[in-house]
A and B are shown apart, each in its own frame.
Chain A
Amino acid sequence: MFGRVLSGDYPRSPILTGALLLILFVLAFAPFLFTGAQPLNVAAKICVFILLVASYDLLLGYTGIVSFAHTMFFGIGGYGAAIALSRLGPSWAALALGIVAAIAVAGTLALLIGLFSLRVRAIFFAMITLAVATAFLVLASQLSGFTGGEDGLNYTVPELLRPSFRLFAEPIFGTIVNGRIVTYYIVFFIALAGFLLLLRVVNSPFGSVLQAIRENEFRAEALGYPVVVYRSFASVVSAVMAALAGILLALWLRYTGPDTTLSFAIMIDVLLMVVIGGMGTLYGAVIGATLMTIAESYLPAIMGSLGKVGAGIPFLSTLLSADRWLLWLGILFILSVYFFPTGIVGKLRAHWQNKRHGTAQRQDSSTPGDSGNTRPSN
Chain B
Amino acid sequence: MTDGITEREETTVRAPAIDWIPILLVAAVALIALPLIGSFSTWVTLTMAALAMGMIIFIMASGLTLVFGLMDVINFGHGVFISVGAYMSLLVLRPLTGWVESPSIALNIAVLVLCILVAMAASGLFGLAFERVIIRPVYRQHLKQILVTMGGLIVIEQLLHVFFGGSPITIALPQTFRGGLALGPDIIVERYRLIAVVVGIIVFLAMMLVLNRTRIGLLVRAGVENPEMVEALGYRIRRLFVGVFAAGSALAGLGGVMWGFYQQTLTVGMGLQVLVLIFIVVIIGGLGSIGGCLIGSLLVALVANYTAFLEPKIALISNIALMLLVLMWRPQGLYPVVKV
Same complex for A and B? Answer yes
* B147 partner, pick from A117, A275, A324, beta carbons under 8 A: A275
- Check A330–B158 contact: CB distance below 8 A: yes
- Check A337–B144 contact: CB distance below 8 A: yes
* With A135-B316, A323-B166 as contacts: A333 and B154 at CB distance below 8 Å: yes
B118 surroundings in chain A (CB, below 8 A): none
* With A66-B146, A130-B276, A333-B147 as contacts: A326 and B320 at CB distance below 8 Å: no
Distance (whole angstroms) from the CB of A205 to the closest CB of chain B: 23
B143 surroundings in chain A (CB, below 8 A): 60, 64-66, 378
- Check B332–A324 contact: CB distance below 8 A: no
A377 surroundings in chain B (CB, below 8 A): 141
Q: Does B127 contact A (CB under 8 A)?
A: no
Q: Which residue of B lies closest to A335 (CB)?
A: B151
- Check A330–B154 contact: CB distance below 8 A: yes
Q: Mask for B101-145, Cβ within 8 A of A = 1, else 0?
A: 000000000000000000000000000000000100100011110
Q: Does B319 contact A (CB under 8 A)?
A: yes
Distance (whole angstroms) from the CB of A180 to the closest CB of chain B: 35
* A315 partner, pick from B154, B163, B319, beta carbons under 8 A: B163
Q: How long is the Cα–Cα vector from A323 to B323 in the complex, in angstroms? A: 36
- Check B155–A120 contact: CB distance below 8 A: no
- Of A60, A122, A330, most buried by chain B (CB within 10 Å of CB) is A330
Q: Does A301 contact B (CB under 8 A)?
A: no
Q: Does A340 contact B (CB under 8 A)?
A: no
Distance (whole angstroms) from the CB of A263 to the closest CB of chain B: 11
- Check B316–A139 contact: CB distance below 8 A: yes
A64 surroundings in chain B (CB, below 8 A): 143
Distance (whole angstroms) from the CB of A13 to the closest CB of chain B: 25
- Check B151–A330 contact: CB distance below 8 A: yes
- Check B141–A142 contact: CB distance below 8 A: no
- Check B155–A331 contact: CB distance below 8 A: yes
Q: Which residue of B lies closest to A121 (CB)?
A: B287
* With A116-B324, A116-B327, A128-B283 as contacts: A123 and B272 at CB distance below 8 Å: no
- Check A135–B317 contact: CB distance below 8 A: yes
Distance (whole angstroms) from the CB of A110 to the closest CB of chain B: 15
Q: Does B66 contact A (CB under 8 A)?
A: no
Q: Does A327 contact B (CB under 8 A)?
A: yes
- Check A122–B162 contact: CB distance below 8 A: no
Majority secondary structure, A binding face: helix
* With A122-B142, A135-B317, A315-B163 as contacts: A264 and B272 at CB distance below 8 Å: yes
Q: How long is the Cα–Cα vector from A135 to B280 in the complex, in angstroms? A: 12
Q: Which residue of A lies closest to B166 (CB)?
A: A323
A271 surroundings in chain B (CB, below 8 A): 147, 150
Q: How long is the Cα–Cα vector from A65 to B147 in the complex, in angstroms? A: 11
Q: Does A175 contact B (CB under 8 A)?
A: no
User: In chain B, residues 301-331, which have Cβ atoms closer than 8 Å to a Cβ of chain A?
Assistant: 313, 316-317, 319-320, 323-324, 327-328, 331
How many B residues touch A, CB cutoff 8 Å?
A: 42
B283 surroundings in chain A (CB, below 8 A): 124, 127-128
User: In chain B, residues 32-55, which have Cβ atoms closer than 8 Å to a Cβ of chain A?
Assistant: none
- Check B279–A131 contact: CB distance below 8 A: yes
Q: How long is the Cα–Cα vector from A327 to B161 in the complex, in angstroms? A: 9
* A126 partner, pick from B74, B137, B273, B323, beta carbons under 8 A: B74
Q: How long is the Cα–Cα vector from A135 to B279 in the complex, in angstroms? A: 13
- Check B320–A135 contact: CB distance below 8 A: yes
Q: How long is the Cα–Cα vector from A65 to B142 in the complex, in angstroms? A: 9
Distance (whole angstroms) from the CB of A118 to the closest CB of chain B: 11
- Check B279–A130 contact: CB distance below 8 A: yes
Q: Which residue of A lies closest to B159 (CB)?
A: A327
- Check B166–A134 contact: CB distance below 8 A: no
A122 surroundings in chain B (CB, below 8 A): 142
B328 surroundings in chain A (CB, below 8 A): 116
- Check A142–B155 contact: CB distance below 8 A: no
Q: Which residue of B lies closest to A214 (CB)?
A: B143
Q: Which residue of B lies closest to A332 (CB)?
A: B151
* A326 partner, pick from B158, B272, B319, beta carbons under 8 A: B158
Q: Which residue of A lies closest to B141 (CB)?
A: A378
B276 surroundings in chain A (CB, below 8 A): 130-131, 134
- Check B151–A333 contact: CB distance below 8 A: yes
Q: How long is the Cα–Cα vector from A233 to B229 in the complex, in angstroms? A: 38
Q: Mask for A163-178, Cβ within 8 A of B = 1, else 0?
A: 0000000000000000
Q: Does A297 contact B (CB under 8 A)?
A: no
B163 surroundings in chain A (CB, below 8 A): 315
- Check B155–A330 contact: CB distance below 8 A: yes
Q: How long is the Cα–Cα vector from A60 to B146 in the complex, in angstroms? A: 11
Q: Mask for A311-332, Cβ within 8 A of B = 1, else 0?
A: 0000100110001101101110
Q: List 16 A-B contacts (CB under 8 A).
A: A64-B143, A65-B143, A119-B331, A126-B74, A126-B76, A131-B280, A132-B320, A142-B313, A142-B316, A271-B147, A271-B150, A315-B163, A324-B158, A324-B161, A331-B155, A333-B154
Given A131-B320, A134-B276, A319-B162: 19 more A-B contacts, CB < 8 Å: A120-B327, A120-B332, A121-B287, A123-B74, A126-B74, A127-B279, A128-B283, A131-B323, A142-B313, A271-B147, A271-B150, A323-B161, A324-B158, A324-B161, A326-B158, A329-B154, A330-B158, A331-B151, A338-B137
